Amino acid sequence: MEVMESIRAGLKELILPELDRIREDNRELKAMLQLTNKRLDDVNLHLVDQSRRIDEVNHRIDGVRGELVGMIQNTNERIDSVRDELVGMIQDTNNRIDGVRNELTGMIQDTNKRIDSVRDELVGMIQDTNKRIDGVRDELTGMIQDTNHRIDSIRGELVGMIQDTNKRIDSVRDELVGMIQDTNNRIDSARSELIVMIMDNTKRIDETNRQIGEARTEAVNMNIGVGSRIDKLAESVVRREEAANLDRRVYLLEQHVENLQRRLAA
């Protein structure tokens, strides 16, 4: 008996806590089921409300559909009426187009006849104009030929005159070249002569300067003969001015010769 009690006590210790846990889980599940059922009831109420609203919308759609069907029928009737009216207008327009076409066809035929008449008239006038052009062409061709003959004659005459002019230019050129050569020879001679004179004047100036130096020395030392030596100095200055004038004349001669050479080259 003690063993059985021990086994029973052991089973109680093992099973009773699990049973308590299971009972607790059941209570939680029942609470969750109650909440779920309550939410389902709320959803059912919402669905019933939505179903009612959908029925109302369907009734409104049926009403709008009926209204739109009536409006479409009225529109179709108006379209048929407008179609019949437009068909009549189009038929009238076609009749007017046929009338205008016939009228314009007659006018075009008349215009074509006038064009043919004007064409024949203009063809005759063009033929007459071509004949006049041919006559004027022949006349102008003769005049051009006469003008060409005159041009050839004048050209030969001018060529002879130009050749004579060229010969005269060559003759004048040779003459001027000879004159320039003579001038160059005279310039060279004058230059040589002037160089000699300048050298002489330079020597005389140097001598004068030497004499002036001596005179200055004597004047300082002796203070005599100053007047006569000053006169010699003035004479030497005059001769230096003459040498400068000769240099200027040589320069002018050279410029004149260069101008003559440039004119001949041109």
Question: If we measure between CA atoms, which residue out of 110, 265, 104, 253 comes closest to residue 183?
Answer: 253
Model confidence at 142: pLDDT above 70: yes
Query: What is the spatial distance between Cα 87 and Cα 61, in angstroms, rounded to a whole number?
Result: 37
Residue 208, judged by CB atoms within 10 A of its CB (0-12, 13-18, 19+), counts as: buried
pLDDT one-digit tens code per residue, 48-95 = 888 888 888 888 888 888 888 888 888 888 888 888 889 889 899 899
Mean pLDDT within 144-151: 88
Tell me the one-letter amino acid at 254.
E
- Torsion angle of C-alpha atoms 49, 50, 51, 52, degrees rounded to 10: 50
Element (H, E) at 225: none
Count CA within 13 A, CB hemisphere, residue 44: 6
Does 238 or 148 have the greater pLDDT score?
A: 148
Burial (0-12, 13-18, 19+ Cβ within 10 Å), 97: exposed
The alpha carbon of 97 is separated from its chain's Cα centroid by a whole number of angstroms, namely 55
3-class SS letters over 227-266? HHHHHHHHHHHHHHHHHHHHHHHHHHHHHHHHHHHHHHHC
pTM score, whole prediction: 0.28
Which pLDDT score is estimated for 224? 47
Mean pLDDT of the 119-140 span: 89
DSSP 20: H
- For residue 99, pLDDT over 80 is answered with yes
Lowest-confidence segment of 104-113, 137-146, 221-230 by average pLDDT? 221-230
Q: What is the mean pLDDT of residues 184-191?
A: 75
pLDDT at 180 (0 to 100): 73
pLDDT classification of 237: cutoffs 50, 70, 90: very low
Tokens of 171: 């003759």
What average pLDDT score do residues 170-184 get? 78
CB atoms inside a 10 Å sphere around CB 62: 10
CA distance 131 to 152: 32
* CA 19 to chain CA centroid, nearest Å: 103
What is the average pLDDT value for the chain, to the nearest integer? 77
The whole-angstrom separation of Cα 250 and Cα 188 is: 10
